[in-house]
């Protein structure tokens, strides 16, 4: 379907359709829904839980440790990070 044909069906102008296609304007969700409907499509919106890159199973494992074991684990991890860091300064003698 041409821009002109869609514009006629949507009771708008061909230039308005062109601006949407060229990403020069952002249509409302309702306008987008209506245009897609006229093109024989349905607009479907959804939401998904975001992946923050956190391994929750590791958190669960750490919480099984006692508080002192968690502190010891944290200190060991910090020491490892310091050891591999290229920005570590030597302590004065």
Q: For residue 39, which of 16, 4, 9 has the smallest C-alpha distance?
A: 9
Q: What is the pTM of this model?
A: 0.53
Residue 43 in domain: no
Residue 77 in domain: yes
- Contact assessment for residue 6 and residue 35, using Cβ atoms and an 8 Å cutoff: yes
Residue 12 in domain: yes
User: Could you read off the pLDDT of 20-78 as tens digits, one per residue?
Assistant: 999 999 999 999 999 999 999 999 999 998 888 888 899 899 999 999 999 999 999 99
Q: How far apart are CA 46 and CA 29, in angstroms?
A: 13
Residue 49 in domain: no
Residue 50 in domain: no
Residue 20 in domain: yes
Number of structural domains in the chain: 2
34 and 61 belong to one structural domain: no
- Structural domain containing residue 19: 3-38
Q: What are the structure tokens assigned to 88, written together?
A: 């570590």
Residue 33 in domain: yes
Residue 59 in domain: yes
């Amino acid at each position: 379907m041409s821009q002109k044909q869609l514009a006629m069906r949507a009771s708008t102008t061909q230039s308005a359709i062109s601006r949407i296609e060229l990403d020069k304007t952002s249509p409302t969700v309702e306008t987008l829904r209506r245009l897609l409907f006229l093109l024989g499509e349905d607009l479907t919106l959804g939401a998904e839980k975001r992946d923050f890159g956190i391994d929750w199973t590791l958190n669960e494992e750490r919480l099984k440790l006692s508080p002192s074991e968690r502190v010891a684990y944290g200190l060991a991890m910090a020491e490892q990070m310091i050891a591999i860091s290229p920005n570590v300064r030597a302590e004065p003698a």
